[in-house]
Chains A and B, each alone.
With several copies, the nearest count.
Chain A
């Protein structure tokens, strides 16, 4: 089993006719994903690798059952496209687009919540179920099937950690990138919950980074509700912190956000925190054996 996605998931690609949309649609199809339709306003009637393209999501949902929409749209239309997907009844959405204005992200997040939709991203690399299928941009040759769930705020770090696990013979159940924008449509805790319920997943690797308080929230969840062991890594421990402007950031974060805060809080929650990337495979191996 896997979380959120499997080979039967019917996927819509919004922004399918752009360069990235086209290329990644091809990769997704080759990885085993059921891409049933695409949308680009003004391009209705075209086909991309055999996938029919519609002008609107509504036309796509009128013609196909859709479980998941993945978006490769320009940042300036990301908000409109995500809300179009939600209003057309799609309740799982991955927004790959980077450089989305954070005020737009806040609207999308609130909109998704109001309509009980799950929005991963923006700037998510997507989700991969190794050996089965993927949505998004993750290069599948970095992954192999197995029992470790990976949740990462960074995209490329997720690839690295998965590939390093594969090197020592440890595969993954599902790997999911959350996107490291200032505000994420879905937070770490919500994905931890899903892994906690997934039979296939024995251990979870959580890859965080400095900024925000998602890791601190995750620590509280792990301590109180998580039945499975979690390994964590926080990127940016040795990075000199940027100069803050004003006080508002500090006040609203209330002392959270630094690598130290995150590592301490996770440690206190009983999570093993790898201080360097190359410690992760060792820690996972210990837990699996």
Chain B
């Protein structure tokens, strides 16, 4: 789960981490009172859940009201890396001496949290990391042992900081680590972490992404996350499935993310076919989950056909088949559906699907199954 910058900054504040004063607005009409409260010069920041919005024009410094109104309209009308801007954070522009970087994430191979700091904070941090990796200092955490404040001071010393600023930066990083640990973080990042001309240390940006699998520990976030989704996606997520809408013409239901990706690769290799979605059922297939999968796939009305690629390992595919059959019957579907369903209870599954009018492909090669679908589509087009 990702948080908007202003939401992350709210969490920072709860932990006593200093952030600039800010106001969030949802519409043009709020910009003037916001600027009047915050003062000039101010920064307008698009609230979108992707990195690199600065380079994409999502951040603007304004020196007067007219400029603010204009910039505000421009940003609200922008799409940033495909995201509409629905909220804008207005903050006072500060006099900045130094921009640092601090990020906490997980090294997947080692299976350890890693704290990264650099004195080269700002929008070019990835470039710095690539060209001057020695400017990034890291502290790997042992998941079985607490990190103590002195270890963070030792890490931050590498940035050449002294006195009060050394302590303030170390304390902030200690608190970022607390957030990372308390909320099962995937990423907690501040870029830039700035030192102002009066030696204040503040987080100008704030990134928090937490582990969806740990959301049961934070019912308040779980609810928030579900509230951000539309209803059909919510139902799927609650049952452990994952859906991503794409631009193609073949609806897809797969059990397993790897299989889904391989299936998408294969579909794309057929001229004229492309996946309309990514859908991974997870390991808890029931008739109801399968109904929900069918419903969400059918929400896209550009489909030429549906391809179902499921295995009966942990999943009772014969149960899932009942859900598919029910949707076909209830909605009197006529769209061609090819299912490749193998593993435990495959015969039972085939029987149910065939009765419902689904074309079943009984061998294991996905390529052959999609070829079968292509043939059917071709026939249909002909007929």
Which A residues have a C-beta under 8 Å from some C-beta of B?
A: 20, 23-24, 27, 41-45, 55-59, 75-77, 79-81, 83-84, 87, 96, 98-107, 109-111, 114, 123, 125, 137-139, 141-142, 152-157, 159-160, 163-164, 166-167, 180, 182-185, 187, 207, 209-214, 217, 233, 235-240, 243-255, 276-278
Min CB distance B158 to A, Å, is: 11
Closest-by-CB residue of A relative to B310 is A156
Q: Are B269 and A139 in contact (CB under 8 A)?
A: no
CB < 8 Å neighbour of A41 from B166, B283, B366: B166
A182 touches B258 (CB 8 A): no
- Do A103 and B116 touch across chains, with their CB atoms under 8 A apart? no
Pairs across A and B, CB under 8 Å, 26 listed: A20-B314, A42-B167, A44-B166, A55-B162, A56-B153, A56-B157, A79-B148, A87-B151, A96-B314, A98-B283, A99-B240, A101-B213, A102-B184, A142-B342, A155-B256, A157-B259, A157-B262, A164-B364, A183-B111, A235-B262, A239-B261, A243-B82, A245-B49, A247-B125, A248-B103, A277-B265
- Which residue from A106, A246, A255 sits with its C-beta under 8 Å from B112? A106
Q: Chain A CB within 10 Å — which of B103, B167, B314 has the most?
A: B314
Residues of A within 8 A of B316 (CB): 23
* Inter-subunit contact A81/B150 (CB<8 Å): yes
With contacts A41-B166, A42-B163 taken as known, whether A102 is within 8 angstroms of B213 at the C-beta atoms is yes
What chain A residues lie within 8 Å of B125 (beta carbons)?
247, 251
Do residues A27 and B283 form an inter-chain contact, with CB atoms below 8 A? no
Interchain CB contact under 8 A, A187 and B162: no
Q: Is the CB of B257 within 8 A of A111?
A: no
Indicate whether A277 sits within 8 Å of B365 (C-beta atoms), given known contacts A103-B143, A246-B209.
yes
Nearest opposing residue in chain B for A279, CB measure: B367
Residue of B nearest to A141 (CB): B343
Q: Is B113 an interface residue (CB 8 A)?
A: yes
Q: Which residues of A contact B112 (CB under 8 A)?
A: 106, 110
Mask: chain B, 123-149; 1 = CB below 8 Å from A; 0 = not: 001100110010010000011100011
B83 contacts which chain A residues (CB < 8 A)?
243
A209 is contacted by which of B257, B268, B314, B342 (Cβ under 8 Å)? B257
What is the CA–CA distance of A278 and B371 in the complex, to the nearest angstrom? 12
CA–CA, A240 to B265, complex, Å?
11
Contact A56-B189, Cβ < 8 Å, known A41-B167, A107-B144, A159-B313? no
Q: Is the CB of B105 within 8 A of A252?
A: yes
Q: Does B77 count as interface, using CB distance less than 8 angstroms?
A: no
Instruction: Tell me the number of A-to-B contacts counted with CB atoms below 8 Å.
Output: 271
B124 to chain A, nearest CB (A): 10
In the complex, what distance in Å separates the CA atom of A237 from the CA atom of B213?
25
Instruction: List residues 336-369 of chain B with CB under 8 A from any CB of chain A.
Output: 342-344, 346, 363-368
In the complex the two chains form, is A248's CB within 8 Å of B116's CB?
yes
Query: Are B142 and A98 in contact, CB atoms less than 8 angstroms apart?
Result: no
User: Told that A79-B148, A244-B50, A248-B207 touch, could you supply 5 new A-B pairs with CB distance under 8 A?
Assistant: A59-B157, A84-B150, A154-B257, A246-B103, A251-B129
Q: What residues on B are CB-neighbors of A209 within 8 Å?
A: 257-258, 261
Residues in chain B near residue A105, CB distance under 8 A: 111
Cα–Cα distance between A231 and B103 once the two chains are bound (Å): 37
Given the complex of chains A and B, what is the CA–CA distance between A212 and B311 in angstroms?
25
Query: A107-B143, A251-B126, A277-B365 are contacts. A27–B344 as well, Cβ < 8 Å?
Result: yes
Contact of A239 among B217, B264, B310 (CB under 8 A): B264
Tell me the smallest distance from the CB of A131 to a CB of chain B, in Å: 17
Contact A141 B50 (CB under 8 A): no
Q: How far is the CA of A278 from the CA of B143 in the complex (A)?
A: 41
Instruction: Please tell me if the beta carbons of A106 and B164 are within 8 angstroms of each other in the complex.
Output: no
A277 to B254: give the CA distance in the assembly, Å. 15
Q: Which residues of A contact B216 (CB under 8 A)?
A: 76
**Residues of B close to A96: CB separation below 8 A:** 314
Contact flag A235-B265 (CB < 8 Å), given A58-B154, A101-B214, A157-B256: yes
Cβ-closest chain B residue relative to A98: B283
B111 touches A109 (CB 8 A): yes
Chain B, 325-337, contact with A by CB distance < 8 Å: what is the 0/1 string?
0000000000000
In-complex Cβ contact of A250 among B126, B181, B213, B363 (8 A): B126
B32 CB to nearest chain A CB (Å): 31
A18–B258 Cα distance when bound, in Å, is: 27
Q: Is the CB of B266 within 8 A of A276?
A: yes
Checking B149, B217, B367 against A276 with a beta-carbon cut-off of 8 angstroms, the contacting residue is B367
Residue of B nearest to A103 (CB): B184
In the bound complex, residues from chain A placing their C-beta under 8 Å from that of B111 are 105-106, 109-110, 183-185
Q: A19 — nearest CB in chain B belongs to which residue?
A: B316
Interface centre among A83, A96, A157 (most CB of B within 10 A): A157
Contact of A278 among B256, B342, B367 (CB under 8 A): B367
Instruction: Tell me the bound Cα distance from A43 to B103 in angstroms.
Output: 26
Residues of A within 8 A of B211 (CB): 101-103, 182
- In the complex, what distance in Å separates the CA atom of A244 from the CA atom of B191? 15
The smallest beta-carbon distance between A146 and chain B, in angstroms, is 15
What 1/0 mask marks residues of chain B from 83 to 121 whose CB sits below 8 Å from any chain A CB? 100000000000000000101111111011110100000
Quick one: given A137-B314, A248-B103, are A160 and B259 in contact (CB under 8 Å)?
yes
A42 to B125, CA, bound (A): 27
The 7 closest A-B pairs by CB, nearest first: A154-B258, A163-B364, A139-B343, A156-B256, A248-B103, A101-B214, A84-B150
